[in-house]
Amino acid sequence: MNKKKRILKVPKESFLRNKLRKETHQLISEIGLRPPAPFTVMEQLAIDLLQRLEISEEYIDFTIVLIGNETWRKTVEATPFHRRLLLLPQCLKDNNSCQGVFDELGLNCAGCKSCPIDDILIEAENLGYSTLVAEGTTVAIGLVEEGAIDAVIGVSCMPVLQRSFEAVTKAAVPVIGLPLMYDGCVNTKIDLKWLYDEICTEIEDKGSNPISISGLNLQLNEFFGNGTLDKFFGKKSETERLAKEFLQVGGQRMRPLITALSYKAYSQQENDDVLYPLSLIIECFHKASLIHDDIEDETAIRYDTDTVHKKHGIPHAINAGDFLIGKGYELLAQLPVEGAVIAKALQKVAQSHTQLTRGQGADIQFNSGKYVPGLEETLEIFQHKTGEAIKVALVMGAIVGGASNDEITILENFADYFGIAYQVRDDLNEFEEQRSDEKIADFPLLVALLREHSSEPRLTDVVTFKRQIKELKLDEKAHSILNSYVAKCYAELDKLENDRLRLSLYGVLGKIFKPLVANE
Q: How far apart are the first and last CA of the chain?
A: 25
Work out the angle at residue 101's Cα, subtended by the Cα atoms of residues 99 and 106, and round it to the nearest 5 degrees.
130
DSSP state of 107: E
**Mean pLDDT across 186-211:** 88
**Mean pLDDT across 143-157:** 84
- The model's pLDDT over 251-300, given as tens digits with 9 standing for 90+, comes to 788 899 999 999 999 998 889 999 999 999 999 999 999 999 999 888 89
- The model's pLDDT over 397-414, given as tens digits with 9 standing for 90+, comes to 999 999 999 999 999 999
Task: Name the β-bridge partners of 301.
Answer: 306
pLDDT at residue 104 greater than cutoff 70:
no
Q: How many CB atoms lie within 10 A of CB 389?
A: 24
As a whole number of angstroms, the distance between CA 139 and CA 142 comes to 5
Domains of the chain: 3-199 (no CATH), 216-336 (1.10.600.10), 338-520 (1.10.600.10)
As a whole number of angstroms, the distance between CA 254 and CA 478 comes to 24
Stronger pLDDT, 414 or 107, i.e. the higher one:
414
Q: How confident is the model at residue 462 (pLDDT cuts 50, 70, 90)?
A: confident
- Give the pLDDT of residue 1: 44
Residue pair 262/411 in contact (Cβ under 8 Å)? The answer is: yes
Stronger pLDDT, 248 or 195, i.e. the higher one:
195
pTM as predicted: 0.87
Most distant pair of Cα atoms in the chain: their distance = 78
- Give the pLDDT of residue 111: 73
**Mean pLDDT across 342-363:** 90
pLDDT at residue 163 greater than cutoff 50:
yes
As a whole number of angstroms, the distance between CA 149 and CA 160 comes to 21
Exposure string for 351-377, b = 16+ CB within 10 A, e = fewer: ebbebbeebbebbeebbeeeebbebee
